């Protein structure tokens, strides 16, 4: 009986971890897409002066979201695989600061593709399964 | 480095828990599916233990999944004869009245050396004494000796024998096993009496004290020779 309870408890733990992973992944993917789109719109609209309030506000939203999500992702995936996102955010911040539109757009593209990649390597799909 | 130490402790505890859940079989007595799980668990535990960039969940989740799988397979193994046959195979007779069954040996990938080694491990040194030898599903060889080579038992010799008794430990390395005392309907005064007779002041000085259902007491003080107390104690 004790063993059966232990097994049921383990099954619950595994299911919880799987659900947390899927939810975190979907949320991260969706939010990263949303925030990076708003940021790229703000950058295009303010390409003459990136260092203004609306761009900085959008960047802050993206950065804050990533800093919060990163903590959870560290429990679920290899640290090495989330390093790219941190690097891109640092470059993006610098490009906004030095008013480099092309570099900013380039880094936003990297963030967007990373968001897709995150789902690709962490999510449950046939490619990962095989 | 502290992370590595803590990770090692966590994984050790989880592997220990997993192995305890899986039962008490020795490596040599394992069925094929049990051996597979044990080998994979050992490997899985190492990965997150040594590489801090990998989350500990990467080791724990597959490990726990294997425990569940093992539990599930063991359950079906107990319930279904067909599944048992598929999963574990069936015992194969390698020596019978005709002699060594060469085809069975080939099927088992066994050589004559493996067979004779297995027979020796079963305390059978003369192959001509073997009536039947069976390779069990866990790889052990069970041997049935010919009647003329079988050792005589007390019933063969019609000797009067005393009933075999089970020994129960009452003091284990200086510690009183209260549960066993209660099971025998004894109390601490019984132990005190023996200790007083043996001129011992404390239970912690006793290495072992056992009693069997005949009431015979086996007793050994730490760093002293053992004694069997001839005086029978009624339980």
DSSP secondary structure string for all residues of B62-115: HHHHHHHHHHHHHHHHHH-HHHHHHHH---EEEEETTEE-HHHHHHTT--HHHH
Structural domains of chain B, ranges and CATH numbers in brackets: 2-86 (no CATH), 92-149 (3.30.240.20), 168-228 (3.30.240.20)
Do residues B31 and B84 touch, judged by C-beta distance below 8 A?
Answer: no
| Per-residue model confidence as pLDDT tens for chain A (130 residues) | 777 888 888 899 999 988 888 888 888 888 888 888 888 888 888 877 777 888 888 888 888 888 888 888 888 877 777 788 888 888 888 888 888 888 888 888 888 888 888 777 777 777 777 7
B22 to chain A: closest CA residue: A3
Chain B positions touching chain A (beta carbons under 8 Å): 21, 52-55, 57-58, 61, 64-65, 67-68, 71
Give the whole-angstrom CA distance, residue A63 versus residue A77: 19
User: Nearest residue of B to residue A4 by CA position?
Assistant: B71
Q: Which of A10, A74, A77 is closest, CB to CB, to B64?
A: A10
Q: Six-digit token pair at A23?
A: 């939810």
From the list A54, A34, A118, A56, the residue with the least C-alpha distance to A84 is A118
User: Which helix (H) or strand (E) element contains residue B235?
Assistant: none
* Cβ within 8 Å of residue B201, ≥6 positions away: B195
B58 to chain A, closest Cα gap in Å:
8
Beta bridge partners of B95: B100, B133
Q: Which residue of B has its CA nearest to A82?
A: B53
Q: Which residue of B has its CA nearest to A21?
A: B57
Q: Which two tokens stand for residue A11?
A: 């099954």
The CA-based angle B53-B59-B61, given to 5 degrees, is: 125
- Find the distance separating the first CA and the last CA of chain B, reported in whole Å: 57
Token pair of A106 as six digits: 């380039």
- The DSSP output letter for B188 is H
* Lookup: tokens for A109: 């593209």
Which domains, from first to last, does chain A contain?
A: 21-129 (1.20.120)
Could you say which of A7, A74, A78 has the minimum Cβ distance to residue B68?
A7
Query: What does the pLDDT read at residue A67?
Result: 87
pTM over the 0.90 mark: no
CA A120/CA A122 separation, integer angstroms: 6
Pairwise CB contact (< 8 Å): B53 & A79: yes
Q: Which pLDDT belongs to residue B208?
A: 92
- Name chain B contacts of A25, Cβ cutoff 8 Å: none
Contact state of A3 with B71 under an 8 Å Cβ cutoff: yes
| Closest C-alpha among B103, B82, B81 to residue B92 | B103
User: Which residues in chain A have Cβ-Cβ distances shorter than 8 Å to B61?
Assistant: 14, 17
Residue B64 is nearest to which of A13, A77, A80, comparing CB atoms? A13
CB within 8 Å: B64 and A74: no
3-state secondary structure of A26: helix
Of B53, B57, B68, the CB nearest to A75: B57
Q: Residue B11 has what pLDDT?
A: 87
B101 Cβ contact list (under 8 Å, min separation 6): B93, B94, B95
State which residue of chain A sits closest to B75, comparing Cα positions.
A4
What pairs with residue B169 in β-bridges? B210
Both structure tokens of B179 = 């549960």
The residue behind tokens 């601490």 is B188
In this prediction, residue B26 carries a pLDDT of 59
How does pLDDT run along chain B (235 residues), one tens digit per residue? 787 888 888 888 888 888 887 776 656 667 777 778 888 888 888 888 877 778 888 888 888 898 888 888 888 888 888 888 888 888 999 999 889 999 999 988 889 998 999 999 888 888 888 999 999 888 889 999 988 888 888 888 888 887 777 888 999 888 888 888 888 888 888 888 888 888 888 889 899 999 887 778 888 988 888 888 765 555 4
Report the distance separating Cα B92 and Cα B89, nearest Å.
Answer: 9
- pLDDT score, position B4: 81
Q: What is the pLDDT of residues B63-117, one digit of tens each?
A: 889 888 888 888 888 888 888 888 888 899 999 988 999 999 998 888 999 899 9
Distance CA A105, CA B92 (A): 71
Closest CB from B53, B54, B68 relative to A11 = B68
Q: Which residues of A touch B13 (CB under 8 A)?
A: none
| pLDDT for residue B135 | 92
Would the CB atoms of A10 and B57 count as touching at under 8 Å?
no
Q: Please answer whether residues A78 and B59 qualify as being in contact, where contact means their C-beta atoms are separated by less than 8 angstroms.
A: no
Instruction: Residue B109: count other Cβ atoms within 10 Å of its Cβ.
Output: 7
**Angle (CA) B208 B213 B219, round 5°:** 20
Question: Do B21 and A6 make contact, defined as CB atoms within 8 angstroms?
Answer: yes
The interaxial angle of helices B57-79 and B2-22, nearest 10 deg, is 10
In A, minimum Cα distance to B67 occurs at A7
The answer to whether the beta carbons of residues B1 and B50 sit under 8 Å apart is no
**Closest residue on chain A to B56 (Cα):** A75
Which of A3, A14, A76 faces B65 most closely, judged by CB atoms?
A14
Bridge partners, residue B229, by sequence: B217
Number of inter-chain CB pairs under 8 A, A vs B: 32
| 8 Å CB contact of A75 and B53 | no
Tell me how far apart the alpha carbons of residues B190 and B172 are, in angstroms, rounded to a whole number.
Answer: 16
């Amino acid at each position: 009986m004790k063993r059966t309870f232990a097994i049921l408890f383990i099954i619950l733990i595994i299911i919880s971890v799987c659900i947390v992973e899927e939810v975190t992944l979907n949320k991260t993917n969706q939010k990263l897409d949303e925030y990076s789109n708003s940021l790229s719109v703000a950058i295009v609209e303010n390409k003459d002066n990136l260092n203004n309030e609306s761009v900085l506000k959008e960047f802050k939203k993206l950065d804050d979201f990533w800093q919060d999500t990163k903590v959870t992702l560290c429990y679920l995936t290899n640290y090495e695989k989330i390093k790219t996102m941190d690097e891109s955010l640092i470059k993006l911040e610098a490009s906004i600061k030095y008013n480099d539109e092309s570099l900013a757009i380039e880094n936003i593209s990297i963030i967007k593709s990373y968001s897709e990649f995150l789902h690709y390597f962490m999510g449950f799909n046939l490619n990962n399964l095989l | 480095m502290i992370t590595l130490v803590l990770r090692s402790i966590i994984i050790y505890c989880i592997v220990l828990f997993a192995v305890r859940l899986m039962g008490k079989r020795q490596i040599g007595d394992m069925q094929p599916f049990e051996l597979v799980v044990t080998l994979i668990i050992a490997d899985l535990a190492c990965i997150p233990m040594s590489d801090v960039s990998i989350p500990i969940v990467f080791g724990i989740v597959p490990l726990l999944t294997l425990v569940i799988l093992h539990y599930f397979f063991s359950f079906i193994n107990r319930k279904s004869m067909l599944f048992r046959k598929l999963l574990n195979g069936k015992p194969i007779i390698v020596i019978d009245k005709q002699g060594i069954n060469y085809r069975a040996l080939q099927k088992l990938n066994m050589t004559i050396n493996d067979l004779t080694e297995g027979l020796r491990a079963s305390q059978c040194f003369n192959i001509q004494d073997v009536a039947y030898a069976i390779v069990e599903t866990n790889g052990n060889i069970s041997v049935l000796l010919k009647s003329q080579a079988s050792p005589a038992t007390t019933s063969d010799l019609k000797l009067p024998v005393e009933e075999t008794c089970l020994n129960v430990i009452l003091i284990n390395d200086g510690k009183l096993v209260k549960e066993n005392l209660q099971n025998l309907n004894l109390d601490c005064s019984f132990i005190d009496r023996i200790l007083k007779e043996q001129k011992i002041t404390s239970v912690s000085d006793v290495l072992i004290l056992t009693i069997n259902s005949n009431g015979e007491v086996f007793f050994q003080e730490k760093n002293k020779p053992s004694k069997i107390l001839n005086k029978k104690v009624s339980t």
